[in-house]
Structure 1
Amino acid sequence: MKHRILAALLASAIAVPAMAADYTIIAPANPGGGWDQTARTMQQVLQDEKISSSVQVQNVPGAGGTIGLAQFASQNKGNANALIVGGYVMVGAILTNNAPVTLKDVTPIARLTGEYEAIVVPASSEIETIDQLVAKLKENPGAVSWAGGSAGGVDHIGVGMLAKAAGVDPTKINYIAYSGGGEALAAILGSQVTAGISGLGEFQSQVEAGTLRLLAVTSPEPIEGIEAPTLKEAGLDVELQNWRMVAAGPDLSAEQKAAITADVEKMAKSAEWQEQLKAKGWSDTFLAGDAFQAQLDKEITATEAVLKDIGLVK
C-alpha cells in the first residue's frame, strides 16, 4: 500500500509542469535605442507567449554597453534568471575601450536580429552614385566627411571597410561620431557632412520622403524593395550587418544554459516575435549554440583587424 501511495505521489510530481522562469533583462544603453527596443520586445513576447511569467527590463547605459556588461557579469554568476542584450557595437566598444570585461565573461545564448547598413547623402548633394562618392574619397579622403554613430561602432567600421576596399588608407577617413541617430541625421540633412552611414531603418522614411538619396547598402545580395546597389555590386568587397544578441550570466551549468536557450528559441520562433520583426524592420538572423559561438569568435577577430586598420586599436 505504502509503495502504491509513493508511486502515485511520484507520478503526480512528474506530471506537474516546470514553472516558467522569471527573467531580468539588462539593456546596456539608454531607453529608446536599439538594445532597449530589443529588450522590451523580448519582455513583451516572453510574457505574451507564456514562456516567462514575469520579465523586467533594466537600463544600464554607458561606454558602448561595456558598463552594463561589466556590472552584469560581476552580479550574475550562476544566475539563470538574468539576461543581457548586446551586439556588434559592443564588440567594437570592448576593443576600443580596452574593457576589462568582455563577452568571454558571460554566456552567449543567441543572435536574434540583424540590420544592414545604408550609405546616404542629402538629396541636394551633387553626388548621385556610390561610384562618385568613392571617386571623391580616393581623390582626397579627408575632404569627404562621414556622419555616423559612436567611434569604433558599426558605422565607423563600415566606413573603414569601404575605404580599405577602395584602396584608401582607413586612418585618413574623416569620420564624425554622433551620440544619437537624430543628431547624425540632422547633420546629414543640413549638408554639414558629405555622407552618412547607419542602419537602413534609420534612413528609410527620409529616403522615401525624398530628403535623402540612398547610394548603397552593405548586404551581400540586393534587398527586395530597395532601389540601391550593394557595395559588392559597386565593386567593393564589403559586407556588414549590425546584429543584436542575448547573453546570460557566467558560470552556468549545461542544464541552465540549455533551459535559457530553449526559452529564447521558443520566443524567436513565435508568430508574435516574427510580427514584431516585420513591424520594426529587423531581419531574423536567429543563430544559437555552437554555431553562434563560432560566428561570434569570427566577428570579434574580424572587428579587431578593422579597428587596427582605422587606428582605434593598437
Structure 2
Amino acid sequence: MKFDRRQALAVLAAAAALPMTARFAHAEQILEQVRFFVPANPGGGWDQTARTMEQVMRTAGLVGSAQVTNVGGAGGTVGLPQFINQWGGQGDGLMVSGLVMIGAIIANKSPVNLSMVTPIARLIGETEVIVVPKESPFQTLQDLVAALKADTAAVTWAGGSAGGTDHITAGLVAKAVGADVTKLAYVAYSGGGEAQAAILGNQVSCGISGWGEFSEQVAAGAIRALGISAEERIAGIDVPTFKEQGVDVTFTNWRGVFAPPDITDEDKAKLAALVDAMVKSPEWQAEVKKREWLDVYQPADAFAATIDEEMTRITGILQTLGLA
C-alpha cells in the first residue's frame, strides 16, 4: 500500500499527538515482567500498594506485564518463608511489606526475618485511624477513652496482625490514657477486608488501621473516624488527631518493597531502577495524592539502615506494652 505525501504527513501528525507513554513505552521498559508477592490477604494496605504499583508500572510502560500473588497470615510471617525459600534468586520478584511485618516477626518469634531478603525501597507512609460503626454510641475519641478506662476488656478492637502497627497503636492509646494494656481486647485479622467487615457488621467496638483502608467507607458514611495518629491535622482529611483530643500518641506506618534473597547485583540494580522510575512518574505521584499517602521514599541502602533501626525501636515498644 502506497502513501502520498498528504497521507504520510497525516500519519506523522497522529503519532505526534499520542501521549508520551504510548509513543515511547517500549523504550522506557525496564523489565519484561515483574511479579509481586503480597504476604497478606487481598483488600489490605499491602495489597492496595502492590496493585497500585502494578497498574502504574504497566500504564507508564515500565514493565511489559505484572502479576500479584497473595499469601496471608500472621502479619506476613506465613508468607515470608515462602518468599525466601521459593522465590530465592528470582530477579523479577518484589515483596510488598512494611512496619507491620517487623512487629509481627518480633511478636511471633519468627525464625525468619527481613535480614534474609533484599531491601529495594521504602515507598509510602500512612497514619493510623480509629473508626467505629456508624451506629456506635462512641461519638468522640473521649467517649471511647472513657469506656476503655472503665472496662478495658469490654472494648473490642479490629485490626491487622498481632504485634503489628494497628496493635501497637491501640496499645499505645490504652497506655496513654491509663487503661490496663494487659486486658486490651484486640482481634487480629489477616486482611483489611476482613477487619472492615467486622466493623461494618457491628462485631467489634472499634477498628484501627491505616487511613487508606477506611477512607472510602468513612466518606460513604458507613463508619465514623474518631481520631488519627498524625502529629498535626492532615490537609484533606477532616479527622482530629489523637493529641488534640488529649491522647498523647503519634505513630506513622510505612510500606516498602523487597527482592528475594540471592539475586544478582544486576537484577537488584534493575529492580531498584524500576522502583525509582515508578516513584518519579506522574502516574505514581497522582496515586499517592489520591490515596492520601505520605511520600517517604528511600532507596535501597538508606532503607536497609531504616529496617535495622526499626527492629530496635519496635522491639522496645512491644516489650513496654507486654506484647513481646
Match of 1:239 in 2: 250
Structure 1's 181 and 23: CA in aligned 2 closer, same or farther, altered over 3 A? closer
How far apart are 1:250 and its partner, in Å? 2.2
Match of 1:299 in 2: 310
* Unmatched tracts of structure 2, length 5 or more: 1-26
How far apart are 1:67 and its partner, in Å? 3.0
* Unmatched tracts of structure 1, length 5 or more: 1-15
Structure 1's 290 and 239: CA in aligned 2 closer, same or farther, altered over 3 A? farther
Q: 155, 161, 167: which is aligned to 2:166?
A: 155
Structure 1 CA distance for aligned equivalents of residues 193 and 252 of structure 2: 21
Structure 1's 232 and 55: CA in aligned 2 closer, same or farther, altered over 3 A? same
How far apart are 1:214 and its partner, in Å? 1.9
Contact 1:115 1:200 in 2 (8 A): yes
Q: 74, 79, 83: which is aligned to 2:85?
A: 74
Percent identity at matched positions? 53
Q: How does 1:106-145 map to 2 (within 5 A)?
A: 106-145=117-156
Structure 2 CA distance for aligned equivalents of residues 47 and 17 of structure 1: 11
Match of 2:187 in 1: 176
Match of 1:46 in 2: 57
Matched residue type, 1:89: V
* RMSD between aligned residues: 2.8
1:312 aligns with 2:323: yes
Match of 2:107 in 1: 96
Structure 1's 104 and 129: CA in aligned 2 closer, same or farther, altered over 3 A? same
Matched residue type, 1:48: T
Structure 1's 170 and 261: CA in aligned 2 closer, same or farther, altered over 3 A? same
Structure 1's 275 and 73: CA in aligned 2 closer, same or farther, altered over 3 A? same
How far apart are 1:183 and its partner, in Å? 4.2
How far apart are 1:141 and its partner, in Å? 1.7
Contact 1:160 1:306 in 2 (8 A): no
Judge which range, 243-252 or 277-286, deviates more: 277-286
Cα offsets for 1:187-242 (capped at 9, x unmatched): 43454433221222333234334443321101122011333221122333322233
How far apart are 1:84 and its partner, in Å? 1.3
Structure 1's 254 and 197: CA in aligned 2 closer, same or farther, altered over 3 A? same
1:288 aligns with 2:299: yes
Structure 1's 203 and 78: CA in aligned 2 closer, same or farther, altered over 3 A? closer
With the length of structure 1 as denominator, give the TM-score of the two structures: 0.82
- For this pair of structures, how many residues does the alignment match? 298
With the length of structure 2 as denominator, give the TM-score of the two structures: 0.80
Contact 1:93 1:152 in 2 (8 A): yes
